[in-house]
Every structure is written in structure tokens, then in C-alpha cells.
Amino acid sequence: MVLLLGGAGFKGPKGDNRMSKFRPSLFMLLHMIVLGIETSCDETAAAVVDGERRILGEALLSQTEEHRPYGGVVPEIAARSHLAHIDALVAEAMDQATIGYDDLDGVAVTGGPGLIGGVIVGVMCAKAIALAAGKPFLAVNHLEGHALSVRLVEEVAFPYLLLLVSGGHCQLMVVEEVGCYHRLGATIDDAAGEAFDKTAKVLGLGYPGGPAVEAKAREGDAGRFDLPRPLAGREGCDFSFSGLKTAVRRTADGFGENGEAAAQDVADLCAEFQAAVGDVLVDRCRNAMKPFRNRNNGGDGLVLAGGVAANGYLRARLEALAGEDGLRLFCPPPELCTDNGAMIAWAGVERLRRGMTDGLDFAPRPRWPLSE
């Protein structure tokens, strides 16, 4: 068994001192086992992961059908569903792993940001398990789960440039170490994933919008309509998608109501919208590469993470950009791009290795900037 020496005064990168009273002097590396719980939005998930990057057990319940009639996530419905199913999903993940709670080295959970009702459900469940089993409790920033998820798949060295794109977040940052993140830019209004969902809703494609728009775009001509590329060509690394959403709505308002031509209109508009998002992401990432190189010590990775990272077209665009600039593109597999328990468990492994645990007085946070 490989061990890392630590001590009562150990702190994480740049003085991260989110420590509980639990201060063992030895932290297991390869054989560390952590239970992870995720309830920040509309996925109820639990997973057991070890330090050798193995997912020992995993269970996930999607609430898509519960929210589909509303065209988006309803917070109260989400929280009630988490409460109804979390215990069974944790038990299923543990059963798959064929271990007991005494075999865990820690219990990790999304502590925020997210829909606060769901976050509270997950945090209280994790606290109860940690207290009953006498195990360290780890409150994981949901965005950190995404940021580190690629390291569950392969050994991506720090530092790396991260593009995090999801339904609620769109950020570019330098991941310098676990717990140490430098933000280069973020959306000033809407996130890319939210723009995908709203576009799908305007065009009657249903929920969730991202996969529906991507599928429809394969049938369309991206050159037919002329949508804006907000902030493209300007300095900086910030994003804006509000104007793009408005342009989609105005274009759709001019469509006919019936016939095959209307169906082709939808496909062409989806293709143009997706191309516009791709152009913006490529432009902003290109701007981020210089400050990234100025901050790092030879890192050559561009990591794409978050729910929108499952989009194949966007992956291809960013892979081409990385190749042009001498970087390597890393992406988690699609099942690790969307919200899941394995990424939270792995972030727990990463933090526990560094002695970065939390007290049971941790308060769930609806907002929690990763740069903190």
C-alpha cells in the first residue's frame, strides 16, 4: 500500500484550510475508496471510486421525464425526487462495489453550487453516512467535480487549461492544482448549455435541448442563416450568449407553420446556432492560450468538461484548435460530462489525498465560485 505522510498542520494549495477535526497523519493513495453523491440539479447519483481510477459501483436516476412537460428543471420537483431516491441509489452503488461503509476512506458530496433544495438533500445524506461510519466528510464544489473528471480517466498533468461548459456555467480557467483555480473568463449573461436548451424550446424540439439541437443540426445547412457570434474577435476570455438566443427567436418567428420546408428551416437554424457557439468557444479559447502559457510551467493540456462537452461537433472544433496551437485536447467520456456521482467521488479522492476535508458544520451553498 502506497502512503502519503501528512500532519495536523497540512494545508491544501495556496493555503486551502478547509479542514475538519479529522486529521490523520497517513493518507492512502492507490487503495483509497470514496463514496460520491451528486444532487445539484436534476440527476440523483451515487458512485464508489478508488484511487486507481476504478468506478467500483455507480447508480444514477435521471429526472428528465419529470421535468419534460415544463421544458426545464423545476427546483421543487427536483428536490422531492432527490429525497425520494437518494437512499436507494447510495445502497445500489455500495452493493455494486461489494463493500460496507466501514471500508470507505471518505464520503464526498456536491456542496454547491446548484439548486439549493437538491444540494441540501445530498449534503445531509452524506453527513449522516460520514457521522455513522466515522469517516471524513468532503464537500466538493460541483464545478471542481467537472474540472477534475478527466483525471478519473487518465493522468492529465497539472496545470491545464479548462473550458467548462454546462447548462448553468461557461468558464475558462487554469487548473493549477486541486483546490487552486485561476479564472480567465466567464459568461456575462447566459451559459452555452442554457442557450442550447432555449433554442430547443423555441424550435419545439423538447427537453433536454442539447442532444436534440445537435441531432437536428446534422440534417441542416449552417450557412443558410446569419446568426451573431457575440464577443468573437474581441479581447478577453468572457462569453455572452443572450444575444444569440434572441437572434434565434427572431429568426424562428419568421418561419412558416407547415410543410417540409419548415422542418428544414429548423434543421438549418440548429446547424447555424451550433456553428455560432462553436465559433465563440474557439475564439475565446484561442484568447485564453496566451495567459495560460504565461501562468503555467509547461502544461500542454486543453480540457473540455461539463454537459455541453458531450457535443461531438464542439469536441471536433476544439480538438482542431488545440492541434493548431500545440496543445492536446482531453475530454471525459460523455457519461462523465453530464452530472454524475463518479466525478464527485474522484474529486473526493483528490482532496482526501491532500488532507483537504471538511467539518460536519459545512453549510450547503447555492452559489460557490470555483476561484474561491
pLDDT recorded at residue 303: 97
pTM of the model as a whole: 0.88
pLDDT recorded at residue 257: 59
Are residues 188 and 104 located together in one domain of the fold? no
Are residues 14 and 111 located together in one domain of the fold? yes
To the nearest whole percent, how much of the chain has pLDDT over 70? Answer: 90
Cα gap 368→372, rounded to integer Å: 7
Beta-sheet strands, E only, within the chain: 3-5, 26-28, 33-38, 43-50, 55-62, 106-112, 137-141, 160-165, 170-177, 180-186, 301-305, 328-330
Which cell numbers in the block locate residue 293?
502559457
3-state secondary structure 21-52: CCCCCEEECCCCEEEEEECCCCEEEEEEEECC
Q: In which domain, by residue range, is 270 found?
A: 160-331
pLDDT in tens, 322-335: 999 899 999 999 99
Q: Which residues of the chain have pLDDT under 70?
A: 1-29, 256-261, 297
Is the separation of the CB atoms in 326 and 300 below 8 Å? yes
Are residues 187 and 113 located together in one domain of the fold? no
Q: Is residue 365 part of a domain?
A: no
Phi, psi at residue 310, to the nearest 5°? -75, -10
Q: Any residues with CB less than 8 A from the CB of 278 and at least 6 apart, and which?
A: 313, 314, 317
Q: Is residue 358 part of a domain?
A: no
Number of domains in the chain: 2
